[in-house]
């Protein structure tokens, strides 16, 4: 490379650095002029109220720290969270999945990617998801307002039409009902239960996987209380956490490296 070319590049370097600094300063940041509201729901490794810890809390606390904004944080049932998000009385919640109905009132910032499975008692003698659906003597336990991947949404809707669904508030109730054989199956995700509970369940149940692709989970934002510009600024924070590896580091606290990478790569 010619010396004159190098010197020209060095002379232009301050201009390049000044431009980059200007762009960084101009990047939009969340409006911190008010205190925001955020709610967790109890859901295995996502959040445990008794331990006050979980994946959702780790993600939310990092997001709040990066934003510099003040938050009021509560814990409530999932069905109530969706109702308050829709009305605009709640700004944020965590680990939500979308569908056409929710898209009308909620926006999302994705941070998690995983599959759903059907967990069935071994003594039910079930050999497949279709087998479970055909068996009129079997019931499925679900949580109010929960939706899943396409195959499992179809299963839950079909069983609901046959009065074979037992709806409860949280996964702890489902686990108790499964142990007592009041229900024979549950639709689960990898983080629904603690590692101790998962070992216990492995002795009691079989796991069935569908052909459905993994489903994105993310920060839930109320379209009624947050403008599209506000939503994008919060989404930028979540995206930054994924790009710089923070989300992977959070997930590897709860899973091995391989699974943590799979759940944060999309």
**Domain with 253 in it: what CATH number?**
3.40.190.10
Whether 254 is in a domain gets the answer yes
Q: Which of 163, 194, 209 is the last residue of a domain?
A: 209
Q: How many structural domains are present in the chain?
A: 2
State the average pLDDT for the chain: 89
Assess whether 169 and 223 both reside in one domain. no
Q: With 70 as the cut, is the pLDDT of residue 9 above it?
A: no
Q: What is the dihedral of CA 36, 57, 99, 151, to 10 degrees?
A: -170
| Inside any domain, residue 25 | no
Residue 25 has pLDDT above 50, yes or no: no
> Is 252 among the domain residues?
yes
- Identify whether residues 140 and 188 lie together within a single domain: yes
Q: Is residue 75 part of a domain?
A: yes
Q: Are residues 181 and 162 in the same domain?
A: yes
What pLDDT does residue 171 have? Answer: 83
In a domain, 26, yes or no: no
96, part of any domain: yes
pTM to 2 decimals?
Answer: 0.81
In 3D space, the residue among 151, 181, 150, 148 whose CA is nearest the CA of residue 166 turns out to be 181
| Burial of residue 232, with CB atoms counted within 10 A of its CB: 0-12 exposed, 13-18 middle, 19 or more buried | middle
Residue pair 124/207 in contact (Cβ under 8 Å)? The answer is no
* Whether residue 161 is found in the same domain as residue 203: yes
230 and 199 share a domain? no
Q: What is the pLDDT of residue 170?
A: 84
Q: What DSSP string runs through 42-55?
A: --TTS-BTTTTB-H
State which residues form the domain around 53: 36-113+215-264
Give pLDDT, residue 182: 97
**End residue of a domain, out of 193, 209, 225:** 209
pLDDT band at 15 (very low <50, low <70, confident <90, very high): very low
pLDDT for 21 beyond 70: no
Q: Taking 60 as the threshold, does the pLDDT of residue 238 lie above it? A: yes
Task: Give alpha helix (H) positions in the chain.
Answer: 3-26, 55-67, 78-87, 100-103, 129-134, 150-161, 171-179, 195-204, 228-243, 246-252, 257-264
- The answer to whether residue 4 scores a pLDDT higher than 60 is no
- For residue 14, tell me if it sits in a domain: no
Answer whether residue 134 is part of any domain. yes
């Amino acid at each position: 490379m010619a010396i004159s070319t190098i010197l020209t590049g060095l002379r232009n370097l301050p201009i390049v650095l000044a431009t980059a600094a200007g762009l960084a300063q101009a990047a939009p940041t969340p409006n911190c002029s008010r205190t925001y509201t955020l709610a967790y729901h109890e859901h295995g490794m996502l959040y445990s109220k008794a331990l006050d810890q979980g994946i959702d809390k780790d993600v939310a606390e990092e997001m709040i720290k990066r934003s510099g904004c003040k938050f009021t944080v509560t814990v409530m049932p999932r069905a109530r969270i969706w109702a308050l998000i829709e009305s605009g009385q709640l700004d944020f919640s965590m680990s939500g999945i979308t569908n056409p109905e929710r898209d009308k009132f909620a926006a999302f910032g994705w941070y998690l990617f995983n599959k759903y499975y059907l967990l069935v008692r071994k003594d039910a003698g079930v050999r497949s998801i279709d087998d479970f659906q055909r068996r009129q003597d079997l019931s499925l336990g679900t949580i109010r307002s929960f939706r899943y991947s396409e195959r499992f949404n179809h299963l839950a809707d079909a069983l609901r039409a046959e009065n074979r669904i037992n709806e409860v508030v949280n996964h702890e109730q489902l686990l108790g009902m499964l142990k007592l054989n009041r229900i024979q199956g549950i639709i689960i995700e990898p983080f629904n239960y603690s590692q101790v509970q998962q070992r216990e369940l492995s002795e009691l149940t079989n796991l069935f996987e569908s052909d459905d692709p993994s489903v994105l989970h993310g920060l839930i934002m109320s379209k009624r209380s947050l403008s599209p510009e506000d939503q994008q600024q919060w989404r930028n924070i979540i995206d930054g956490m994924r790009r710089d590896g923070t989300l992977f580091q959070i997930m590897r606290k709860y899973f091995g490296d391989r699974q943590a990478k799979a759940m944060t790569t999309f």
